[in-house]
Structure 1
């Protein structure tokens, strides 16, 4: 039994899940791909940095547009997911 490999790249919407079947030397492996949301990318970058960051630096490190980072920062400030220990710099509330 031979599995056919779809060579077309799959783009996933944030939060969407997709199972990909890979045929390596006629052994089948299943891998679950999950796309990260913008908020998840931002929080990951902030946690990896280990120090408070401003929105411009988060945009630079994450590869996201600055407007998206600003929008997500505003939402995370309201919910308390990020805190500001230093003026104009932010870090995740749950380090």
Structure 2
């Protein structure tokens, strides 16, 4: 599959060729999934009686990290999308 700039990404094992923009999206998705898993695990620890202050502080820190990652994923996706749109209009 080609994007507006005609750039073709490499083929991945078990997947089809895709643009680097799609690869970036997948990478952000995987990163956010991993962070969500950390938060879920810490929440489960706290929910099962492990509500020591250190666990609560760690959960808070991981939640803030999730917010940071989510904001950066959105910003990078929007910035790259706008740049691709601009390139598409100039061609």
TM-score normalized by the length of structure 1: 0.23
Q: Which structure is higher in RCO with an 8 Å CA cutoff and minimum separation 6?
A: 2
Q: Which has the higher strand share?
A: 1
Q: Which has the higher helix share?
A: 2
TM-score normalized by the length of structure 2: 0.24
